Every structure is written in structure tokens, then in C-alpha cells.
Amino acid sequence: MSINIVLAILATSSATYISRFFGVITSNKVKETSKIFRWFNCLAYSTLSALLARIIIFPVGALSEVSYLIRLTVVLFCLFIFFISKRNFVYPTVISAIMMTLLSEYL
């Protein structure tokens, strides 16, 4: 194995685990109701929603072959399932994969 690969793995692993270590140390001092915690929470949700919007609107790979209407239908139906199932992530995830497969194959 090349030494560059080993160094890359060590560098990324240390960056990941050092940040997690500092997160564990400082987590006792951060209040969930503080403004900075709420700001990071909003930042995380906005990043996630931007990524989902990018996947739906500008897909790459096999998803780009599926029509926009099918993608939008699957997302809206799975949001409905998400709220009906008391915010369970499993049901919409499984249903979205099944729906996307069936709709893209037969429509």
C-alpha cells in the first residue's frame, strides 16, 4: 500500500476523532436552549435541506434519468408517510426506494 494513502487515512481519521473528542469535552457546557446551539441546529437543517433540494432538482447519475414529476411525487408522498408514521425515518426510506424503482420502470 502506498505511504500517501496511509498518511491520508491517518490525517482524516485524526481530524475526525479530534473534533469528536473536543465535542465530547465541551458538550457538558453547551445548553440545548442556547442561541449558539439553536444556530448550529438551524445550520445543520438548512444544509440538509439544500442537499435534498439539489438531489431532487439537479440529480446526478441514474437519478437524472427519472423525470422531475416522478421525483417530486415520491418526495411528497414520503413526506406524507413521514408525518403519518409519527416521524419515523424507516417507512419513508423503504417506500421511496420501492416507489422510485416502480415508477421509473413502469412510467
37 and 14 belong to one structural domain = no
pLDDT at 62 over 90: no
pLDDT of residue 50: 95
pTM: 0.61
16 and 39 belong to one structural domain = no
| Total domain count, the chain | 2
16 and 40 belong to one structural domain = no
55 and 81 belong to one structural domain = yes
Q: What gap in Å lies between CA 74 and CA 25, rounded to an integer? A: 41
What range defines the domain where residue 22 resides? 1-30
pLDDT of residue 27: 81
pLDDT of residue 79: 94
25 and 38 belong to one structural domain = no
pLDDT at 25 over 80: yes
